[in-house]
Chains A and B, each alone.
Chain A
Amino acid sequence: MAKIKKEELLKLASLSRIELNEEELGSFGKDIDSILSFIKQIQEVSGNTGVEKRLPGIFSMIQNSFREDGPAHKPGEFSKEILAEVPKREGDYVKVKKIL
């Protein structure tokens, strides 16, 4: 298997919304190569319908859980605790940088 290229690693990091420094670009490349060479054994098998069909066993017994439409709780019941965890806020609003 071809070794993972530096540009490829930078692209994956950017898609993962993280940055890698120079040292990590080297060591992560080496680690990912060795992990990929281990997991590529799964390509020995034929067939490839895994993602279209539902998994069998216990996974086929799981069903969606629905509830009636309607208010699940009183308005504002949890706002105080949840807003207390927001790192940047203005009053009761979550504050983010300008998007446009």
Chain B
Amino acid sequence: MNITDLTIKSAHDHLKNGDFSVNDLVDATLKNIEEKNPKINAYLEVYKDVKGGIEKAESLFKGGKAHVLTGIPLALKDNILNKGKIASASSKILEKYRATYDSTVVSKLKKEGPIFIGRTNMDEFAMGSSTENSAYGVTRNPLDLTRVPGGSSGGSVAAVKMNGALAGLGSDTGGSIRQPASFCGLVGLKPTYGAVSRYGLIAMGSSLDQIGPLTKSVGDAEILFEVMKGKDPKDSTTLSFSEKKELPKKLIIGVPEDVLSIDGIQPDVRKNFEESIKRFSKLGYEIKNISLPNAHYSLAIYYVIMPAEVSSNLARFDGVKYGLHENGENLLGDYIKTRTVGFGRETRRRLILGTYVLSSGYYDSFYGKANELRRAVIGDFDKVFENRQAKNGVDIIITPTTPDVAFKIGEKAADPLSMYMSDILTAPQSIAGLPAISIPSGLSKDSLPIGLQITAPYMREDLLFKVGKDFLGEI
């Protein structure tokens, strides 16, 4: 059985019609993993107990109580807790850590009876843009094994692309869902900050982190988002969604020329973006040039705020409560030895950077300034979304997702700054807490996928789904 062309939606219809069973679907998925995972390394672990889930899903179909997610094989990023299963954040420091509870997203999804196939590789603690920073080896791009799948959710993306799941969950702090989705030709959604609970997500940058879906279609991203979203008393940053607002008849798309003039956007990507604009015009959208004068600071702001939050969040790993323990001479020695052995290079680099920007001599000139500018970036977006009729006013904004296509394994590993640059177009939305989706928009000369990023106002994921479906011709 070939599952390449199956989406969550179409697989559900086939399951309902009895064209194949949940068991057939899971079997085909596991066969693909067995064949492809040794080379691609998308999964760190394939769960041994999927059988129980299959039986439960089959009985839901028999009883006519199946949800659209029932029996659907899903991949889980290794930083999202699934009770009783290892969640290592691809770090040595959590190599044997078993989740003692379900994250809110997993417990919400479990109610609908999907099949969690396994946990997927990632950059350690989600720090990276290539999945090369994992303690458990690199993940390869299924479309070209010499290239990276992007990151940090590279394992989940590769799992879906190699037909080892119909969809996956990732987390996005500065682009970690959108960038790998773009590199592998998938759809990736970073929801509004606070739209989806982070309870049970291993924290990286708490004012930035969001969990989101990685899928083959916009409709599938919508299905997963609708189940996962909403207020959670266990995450005080979550917000409730109000009733759906009416969509304007003719939507206005903003093209931020000042963002597009950033150095490093490759000609293939730029050309493809121009074609996307034309496509939207043909579809009846109005196109407007807009200005986001402070957005180009976003990546620099991000590399102050994120490491600052990393250095506080990762202080909890001390070899005492859970995870790795290495023996030192005294208690302080235990901490230092455990963290030195347990954390990889990029993690330690960011800990140092975070400690630097928070230290008393630099706090004002780095952390203070970064927060000041963050307010300015949020203000830029607020202004364009505030009044669509205004000269600079729009309903949504489009840019390419990344300045370039998937790069070669090792190409940027020696130069952290050049690696950071691959998030230059995704950082503004993270800094502002806005929802954004990456959808496949075409291929480069070398036949590698290019992604289009669509950004909407807060809590307007519905606009992203509508525009994304229009663009891809989904019904």
Give the interface of A toward B (CB within 8 A).
4, 9, 12-13, 15-20, 24, 28, 31-32, 34-36, 38-39, 41-43, 45, 47-51, 53, 55-59, 61-65, 67, 78, 81-82, 84-88, 94, 96-99
Could you name 22 residue pairs across A and B whose Cβ atoms are closer than 8 Å? A12-B359, A13-B352, A19-B337, A28-B348, A34-B415, A35-B416, A35-B420, A38-B300, A43-B365, A50-B373, A50-B374, A55-B207, A56-B378, A58-B192, A58-B458, A59-B193, A64-B236, A85-B97, A85-B323, A87-B325, A97-B330, A98-B331
Q: Is B340 an interface residue (CB 8 A)?
A: yes
Contacts A19-B340, A96-B320 given: A32-B378 contact, CB under 8 Å? no
Out of B318, B335, B352, B458, name the residue touching A9 (CB < 8 Å): B352
A73 to B235, CA, bound (A): 18
| Residues in B neighbouring A19, C-beta threshold 8 A | 336-337, 340
Out of B301, B319, B352, name the residue touching A16 (CB < 8 Å): B352
* B83: min CB distance to chain A, Å: 8
**Interface pair A41/B297, CB less than 8 Å apart:** yes
**Interface pair A18/B339, CB less than 8 Å apart:** yes
**Interface pair A62/B194, CB less than 8 Å apart:** yes
* A50: min CB distance to chain B, Å: 3
**Interface pair B368/A58, CB less than 8 Å apart:** no
* B402: min CB distance to chain A, Å: 18
**Interface pair A85/B366, CB less than 8 Å apart:** no
Nearest 9 Cβ contacts at the A-B interface: A50-B371, A87-B325, A50-B372, A65-B236, A85-B322, A57-B378, A58-B433, A81-B100, A16-B351
Contacts A31-B349, A35-B353, A58-B433 given: A17-B323 contact, CB under 8 Å? no
**Interface pair A42/B301, CB less than 8 Å apart:** yes
**Interface pair B373/A38, CB less than 8 Å apart:** no
| Residues in A neighbouring B322, C-beta threshold 8 A | 82, 85-87
**Interface pair A94/B336, CB less than 8 Å apart:** no
- Which residue on B lies nearest to A82, using beta carbons? B100
6 additional contacts (CB under 8 A) given A78-B101, A99-B331: A13-B352, A36-B356, A48-B368, A48-B369, A61-B194, A62-B239
A62 to B433, CA, bound (A): 12
A71 to B354, CA, bound (A): 37
**Interface pair B352/A12, CB less than 8 Å apart:** yes
A87 to B326, CA, bound (A): 9
- Which residue on B lies nearest to A16, using beta carbons? B351
